[in-house]
Amino acid sequence: LIMSKGTVVLAYSGGLDTSCILVWLKEQGYDVIAFLANIGQDEDFEAARKKAESLGAKKVFIEDLRSEFVEDFIWPSVQANAVYEDRYLLGTAVARPCIARQQVEIARKEGANFVSHGATGKGNDQIRFELTCYALYPEVKIIAPWRIPEFYNRFRGRTDLMEYAQKHGIPVPVTPKAPWSMDANLMHISYESGILENPKSRAPADLYLMTKNPEDSPNTPDDLEIEFKNVFVGSPCLSLSGKHGVGRIDIVENRFIGMKSRGIYETPGGTILLKAHLDIETFTMDKEVRRIKQGLGIKFSELIYNGFWYSPECEFVQHCINKSQENVEGKVQLSVFKGQVYILGRESSKSLYNEELVSMDVQGDYDPCDASGFIRINAVRLREHHRLQGFSSTKQ
């Protein structure tokens, strides 16, 4: 009888990789608890449960995390206008701390000293999962098979995994695997690796699952209204944006680990929320507060991307962003059409927009003569700079 090395909670997807990892962990002498997170992906969770049980998982937890994913992770990202490197809306990055938080909770409840995942040794996800685990369960030990030489030397590709699966009675996929990897949740889908690793190769037309090709989208726009009250109140933006091909990007980004990677992302609803939130925020927020908040939003995006959701600096930045949102409420009217989002109008009881003050037809509580002094004061620095420049050039 082999003594157990301990209990490990495996972040399990039901796919080939994590099924092989489950059996491999058992071979190494671990008791395995399989954990599946429902964050809105299209998955047969009961089939995955049965598969994990048939492969020898001691227990299987299927956790519906959709509500907390939205409330605790997506909404703070919307409030921050979180975008990494000007384009990526962080759909995968923001899901990882949500999944890892629950994994750690199960590990603590079940008295498991180990957690494991199927993230590769070259990517960002290993960092995101593990930093969350260490932050919330400091004593935990992590088993990352794709960083263990005995594992990655044994499984050099999909063929090795398939052979191992057949040998150990692991059901193998019947349909051919798409020549790229995919990660989905209710916010977005990401596609990378495989044929997409050549940054010049165009994505096949059948790659996109969440959005229609803008060329094939309806020839008439759809109008909608989004209401914010601290965060987002409601709108059918996801289905409408997907129908109109909104939210597709194809980018090369900088991974935290130091290499560039090519990723294709669909974030239909998130793209509309970003555009609408930016609009209502500018409408209701003081100019200088917004300037500071903009910088905090960039910092927050980097912290999410790099895996530092549960860091003291991220907590501080979130606190400041939350404070900035106290008066960010109102309604934004917009239109979606052929891959684009068009803002049509906005309204808010907290608006800082003063129609009389800004009107060209009404003087309001403003004396145009004051602008002369304002301009002259701002010109002092420019005059002095160019005076010095002129002085320097005459000396030469």
Express each pLDDT in 354-378 by its tens digit: 988 898 888 778 899 999 999 999 9
Number of Cβ within 10 Å of residue 244's Cβ equals 24
Partners of residue 264 on adjacent β-strands: 191, 250
Report yes or no: 109 and 83 within 8 Å, Cβ to Cβ: no
Say which residues have a Cβ less than 8 Å from residue 116's Cβ, sequence separation at least 6: 8, 9, 10, 11, 21, 25, 142, 143, 144, 145
CA 80 from centroid of its chain's CA atoms: 12
Rounded Cα distance, 328 and 321, in Å: 11
User: Is 17 one of the catalytic residues?
Assistant: yes
Given a cut of 90, whether residue 232 has pLDDT beyond it is no
In this predicted structure, what is the pLDDT of residue 176? 79
**Coil, strand or helix at 277:** helix
Which of 49, 96, 248, 346 is flagged as catalytic? 96
Q: Looking at the predicted structure, is the pLDDT value of residue 235 above 60?
A: no
Q: Does the active-site annotation cover 335? A: no
Task: State the distance between the two ends of the chain, measured CA to CA, in whole angstroms.
Answer: 90
Instruction: Check if 216 is active-site.
Output: no
Active-site option among 77, 116, 125, 279: 125
CATH superfamily of 182-347: Argininosuccinate synthetase, chain A, domain 2 (3.90.1260.10)
Instruction: Please pick, among 13, 17, 101, 241, the residue that the annotation labels catalytic.
Output: 17
CATH 3.40.50.620 boundaries in the chain:
7-168
* Active site annotation includes 154: no
Distances (CA, A) of 235 to 113, 141, 227, 242: 43, 43, 8, 14
- Catalytic-labelled residue, pool 66, 72, 154, 181: 181
Give the count of beta carbons closer than 10 Å to the beta carbon of residue 290: 16
Report the predicted TM-score, pTM, of the whole model to 2 decimal places: 0.93
Minimal CA–CA distance to 37: which of 3, 69, 4, 62?
62
| Average pLDDT of every residue of the chain | 94
Q: Provide CATH 3.90.1260.10 ranges for the chain.
A: 182-347
- Give the model's pLDDT for residue 130: 98
45, exposed or middle or buried, with CB in 10 Å at 0-12, 13-18, 19+?
Answer: middle
CATH domain 7-168 topology: Rossmann fold (3.40.50)
